[in-house]
Amino acid sequence: MSEQTTNDETTSAGDEQLVEQVGDEAAEIIDPLVAERDAALAQRDEYKDIALRLQADFENYRKRAAAQTADEIDRSTGKIAEALLPVLDACEAAFSHGVDGVEPIWSALIGALQKQGLEALDLQGRTGYRWKGRVLRAAMVKVRG
């Protein structure tokens, strides 16, 4: 029986050496793979961060472009309204002098412009106009002297 115990101990020691040798060989194979995986994960995180930043930059650009477009449309329509002010003044002058048939034209023109955002600044004197908060023409005020 002592021979069997010695054989078991020898086998046990041999098994331990074999397990240790296999573990070392496995570590030689696995360690570089783990390092490659870690590097790939780090690179993935970096690319993901870049993609998120680009997405946010593009979203900001889109919002800024939409706001600029809306501002340009407002300015352009304001220029059209400003170009129509002399026509509006002529209709108003003709209406105030009693010319027949001008009142419906004047009413239609002022109504259409007011629907689009024109506001009359009616003080004593010549009427001024504001288009969506921007003064197109200041009102002329009579001052007593």
Note whether residue 143 is domain-resident: no
Domains identified in the chain, total number: 1
| Segments forming the whole domain that contains residue 108 | 2-137
Q: pLDDT tens digit string along 3-39?
A: 555 555 666 777 788 778 877 888 888 889 899 999 9
Amino acid 30: pLDDT: 87
Q: What pLDDT is recorded for position 10?
A: 62
Residue 145 lies in a domain: no
- Residue 74 included in any domain: yes
Q: In what order do the strands lie in the sheet with 134-137?
A: 118-121, 128-131, 134-137
pLDDT for position 64: 98
pTM listed for this prediction: 0.51
The 10s digit of each residue's pLDDT in 99-118 is 788 888 888 888 888 888 88
**Residue 25 counted as domain residue:** yes
Q: Is residue 129 part of a domain?
A: yes
